[in-house]
Amino acid sequence: MLAERIARIQSTALSKIESAGKLEELEAVRVEALGRKGELALLSKELGKLAPEERAEAGKLLNAAKQALESRLEDRKRVFAAAALNLRLESEWLDLTLPAPGIRPGSLHPVTRIQREIEDLFTSLGFTVVDGPEVETEHYNFDALNIPPSHPARDMQDTFWLTDGHLLRTHTSPMQVRAMEKFGAPLRVIAPGRVFRNEEVDASHEHTFYQLEGMMIDRDVSVAHLIYFMKTLLSHVFRRDVTVRLRPGYFPFVEPGFELDGQCMICGGSGCPVCKQSGWLELLPCGLVHPNVLRSGGIDPEQWNGFAFGLGLTRLAMMRYKIDNIRLLLGGDLRFLTQF
């Protein structure tokens, strides 16, 4: 009889479990069937009245019914929980195309960008990056570079002279001598920086621009080494192999002196307006350091020699970003500067 009652309770509870539509209804079923004062609990109190062998049999049935109901309840709860979670997740749809709050990153100046790439390259090649003054002496800017006062080469650079006799450096080359004095030989340095020319300004001429000087001094530094470094430099900057050519160029602080041309990146050498139909772009004045300049830096030209080069950082930035007006670079227009 007890078995029948157990079976009836179980089947009634099971059907209520199946028909329950929400978590609360399930809980009610659990309390009704499995609670401390639930139907099965009441039944279990009657077990004591049974004979021992019947009691054991009924106890088993009771436990089985409890387990069956509990397991089913758990299953159903999980289903409800999963449905509830799904509902929450669904309601939490978020438009990720909305702009992120907070500040947009700013930009670095195009000259900064190119300068740092070159600094990183030369640092990896064992060069030191040095800085020097923008206000220079006539000695470092000219005399020590084998350009005495009467030298016509002084005409090549229109100089801002200051009222106290100093000048604004016309090139980064003074750093050659300053670096030699500071570090001695052997030496590998680059010196990027701001330089000044006292001339009229137009779309391709500025009175303030950036150069990067480079110098290597060692026992037997040759033209072959110079070409190697220049090719490496240009390939790094333009991110491809650059065909170069070396031709004579005159700068008093080098002997021999060269102009290094790169094959025009625009037309590939066939001739275009950018390279004035020549197929070549003048990129780097360079040469072997003149013995007088080594002497100016306190280095014995019979023991040591070296190469030096001067890179127009401003020009390089203009080439890379196809900037057709040099005045944009120091114009401070954020509509331009935020593009980099």
Partner 1 sequence: MKFSYRWLSELVEGLDTDPRELTRLITMKTAECEGVEHVATLLDQASPARVISVEPIGDSHNRRVVVETPAYGVRTLVCGAPNCRPGLMTVYVPVGRKVIEGVESDGMLASGKELGVNNDHEGIVELDPEFPFASDWIIEVDNKSLTHRPDLWGHLGMAREVAAITGRRVTDPVRMSLLPQGESAILVEIENYELCSRYSALLFENVTVRPSPLWLQYRLEAIGLNPINNIVDVTNFVLAELPQPMHAFDAAKLRGGKIIVRPARPGESVPALNGETYATDSSNLLICDAEGPVAIAGVIGGMESSISDSTTSIVLESANFNAASIRKTSTRLKLRTDASMRFEKSQDPLNTARGLARAVELLQQVSPGIRLVGGLVDNWRQAPAPPPVTLPLDWMDRKLGTELPADEVRRILESLHFTVKSKSDRVLSVAVPSWRATRDVSIKDDLVEEVGRMVGYASITPAPPQTPTVVPPGNPERVFEHRIRDLASAQGFTEVYNYSFFSDEMLKAFRMDADSLVEVANPIASDRRFLRNSLVPGIWKNIVDNVRHLDYFRFFEIGKEIHLRPGLPPEERPRFLAAIYSRQDATPALFELKRLAECLLKTVRVDMDAEPREFEHPRRVGLVRCGDSDVGRLFEFHPNLVETGRAAVLDLDLTMLQVLQPPVKPYQPLRRFPTSAFDLSVIVPPRSKAGDLHSVLAAAAGESLVEIDFLRTFALPDGSNSISYRITIGASEKTLSNEDVTAIREQLIAAVQARGWSIRG
- In this structure, are residues 172 and 191 in contact, taking their beta carbons and an 8 Å threshold? yes
Closest to partner 1 by CB, 8 vs 245, is: 245
* Of residues 207-246, those binding partner 1 (CB under 8 A): 207-208, 216, 218, 220-225, 227-228, 231, 245-246
Q: With binding defined as CB under 8 A, does residue 140 bind partner 1?
A: no
DSSP string over 189-253: EEEEEEEE--S--BTTB-SEEEEEEEEEEESS--HHHHHHHHHHHHHHHHTS---EEEEE---TT
**Two tokens at 261?**
């041309």
- Give, in order, the Cα–Cα distances in Å from 205 to each of 188, 198, 280, 340: 31, 10, 20, 22
Minimum CB separation of residue 283 from partner 1 in Å reads 13
Q: With binding defined as CB under 8 A, does residue 161 bind partner 1?
A: yes
Q: With binding defined as CB under 8 A, does residue 105 bind partner 1?
A: yes
Out of 40, 176, 237, 259, which residue is the one contacting partner 1 (CB under 8 A)? 259
Minimum CB separation of residue 234 from partner 1 in Å reads 12
Out of 8, 60, 116, 205, which residue is the one contacting partner 1 (CB under 8 A)? 116
Q: How far apart are CA 147 and CA 152, in angstroms?
A: 8
Minimum CB separation of residue 255 from partner 1 in Å reads 4
Closest to partner 1 by CB, 9 vs 168, is: 168
Stretch that binds partner 1, among 15-23, 74-82, 91-99, 325-333 (CB under 8 A): 325-333
With CA atoms as reference, report the closest residue to 302 among 222, 182, 187, 219.
219
- In this structure, are residues 264 and 272 in contact, taking their beta carbons and an 8 Å threshold? yes
Minimum CB separation of residue 298 from partner 1 in Å reads 17
Stretch that binds partner 1, among 18-26, 61-69, 81-89, 153-161 (CB under 8 A): 153-161
Q: With binding defined as CB under 8 A, does residue 305 bind partner 1?
A: yes
Q: With binding defined as CB under 8 A, does residue 330 bind partner 1?
A: yes
Out of 29, 73, 212, 288, which residue is the one contacting partner 1 (CB under 8 A)? 288
Q: How far apart are CA 27 and CA 319, in angstroms?
A: 76
Q: With binding defined as CB under 8 A, does residue 249 bind partner 1?
A: yes
Q: With binding defined as CB under 8 A, does residue 297 bind partner 1?
A: no
Minimum CB separation of residue 284 from partner 1 in Å reads 13
With CB under 8 A as the rule, give the number of residues binding partner 1.
Answer: 81
For 239, other C-beta atoms within 10 Å of its C-beta total 9
For 302, other C-beta atoms within 10 Å of its C-beta total 8
Helix, strand or coil for residue 289? Answer: strand
Q: With binding defined as CB under 8 A, does residue 273 bind partner 1?
A: no
- Give, in order, the Cα–Cα distances in Å from 197 to each of 190, 194, 201, 213, 247: 21, 11, 10, 16, 25
Stretch that binds partner 1, among 34-42, 69-77, 147-155, 318-326 (CB under 8 A): 147-155
